[in-house]
Amino acid sequence: MSIHHAIDYIELPAPDLAAAKAFYGSALGWTFTDYGEAYVGFSSTGGDEDGGFDPRGTPHAGGPLVQVYSDDLEATLRAVVAAGGAISVEPFAFPGGRRFQFTDPAGNELGAWSRT
């Protein structure tokens, strides 16, 4: 369901689509839809697509920071590292919960947060 003015879809640069699928599938349990060899859609909920991987883009830190929610922040951190990600900002508390930031193997930086 699309909601007015809500983020509806995000594209992440991913020069190696197979590596992006392997990382996000392993670290966060995302599912994928291949659209030929030039684009992959992803779902973080198992439902509608939330975004896609674009092999034409160039990953870099410093752009908009996409945040994923985690029921268990420590387990998510371990899964990110086990899947080949790197922790760029160690877990810290903020008003409303805790979070950390990580880079995927292509260099995109994302965050994960939890209320606890």
Residues 46-99 pLDDT 10s: 888 999 999 998 888 788 789 999 999 999 999 999 999 999 999 999 988 999
Within-domain flag for 35: yes
Please give the tally of structural domains in the chain.
Answer: 1
What is d(CA 44, CA 24) in angstroms, rounded to the nearest whole number?
A: 9
Region 35-53: mean pLDDT is 92
Within-domain flag for 92: yes
Within-domain flag for 2: no
Within-domain flag for 3: no
Contact 21, 104 (CB under 8 A): no
pTM: 0.86
What is d(CA 95, CA 93) in angstroms, rounded to the nearest whole number?
A: 7
Within-domain flag for 16: yes
3-state secondary structure of 17: helix
pLDDT of residue 37 exceeding 90, the answer is: no
Region 12-25: mean pLDDT is 96
Within-domain flag for 30: yes
